Amino acid sequence: MVEHEMKTILEGQGIVLRYAMESDIDEYLVMLNDPESTRLTGSQQEFSRERIEAWLRKISIPSDERADFMIVSTETGELIGEVVLNEMDTINRSANIRIGIQGTAHRGKGYGTEAMRLMIGYGFEKLGLHRIHLGVFVFNPRAIHVYEKLGFKREGVERDVLYLDGEYQDMIKMSILEDEYRVLYRAE
């Protein structure tokens, strides 16, 4: 990976979104192996340093297929999460969005809400998307509340998609359309 100068792509209040850098490896590994983060995202795999180094190299270069941004605290410069638009469909102008915030110290401070707001705007305004969708597990009411506050609407439920701690869990499917975004965010 070519280490490049930290380039802010989007700036919010308290955070910036930027491309991945080689120096992110240690903080990114901590984030991916955080037990609460893996539970909330439904991740059931282990991540080796070599695998993550290769992944960071891949996502550090802009792509037409996905937009991966690291969430960095403007106060501390610390990597606190990631937000991603993936599964991009240029014909139908849609994409999936996902987010991960590292550790309990960073949750509940509005970083995730701000990162999602910035990424939704990026998707509709910069990438010209029509629809942004996501899936959230029913056991994550805090995330569901944030997504609804950001304008996402419930579309349905995928039943028993995750086997976790001896039980199957459902996933709520949600989306926001460009017209809904424009109405909701024009008032700001």
Average pLDDT value for the chain = 89
Task: Decide: 71 and 15 in contact? Cβ < 8 Å.
Answer: yes
Q: Of the listed 28, 147, 181, 185, which one is catalytic? A: 147
pTM, two decimals, is: 0.89
Closest by alpha carbon to 178, among 151, 149, 141, 144?
151
Q: Average pLDDT for residues 116-142, to the nearest whole number? A: 96
Q: Which residue has the higher pLDDT, 156 or 24?
A: 156
pLDDT, position 61: 84
- Would you call 168 a catalytic residue per the annotation? no
Q: Which residue has the higher pLDDT, 138 or 39?
A: 138
Provide DSSP, 65-89: S-EEEEEEETTT--EEEEEEEEEEE
Token output for 32: 């991916």
pLDDT, position 36: 73
Measured CA to CA in angstroms, residue 55 lies from 38, 52, 59 at distances of: 17, 5, 6
For the chain, the domains span 8-186
Reply yes or no on whether the pLDDT at 16 is more than 90: yes
Q: Which residue has the higher pLDDT, 104 or 119?
A: 119
Q: Which residue has the higher pLDDT, 31 or 137?
A: 137
Q: Cβ of 40: how many Cβ atoms within 10 Å? A: 19
Q: Write the DSSP symbol of residue 126.
A: I
Pick the CATH number of 8-186 from 3.40.630.30, 3.40.50.720, 3.40.190.10, 3.40.50.880: 3.40.630.30
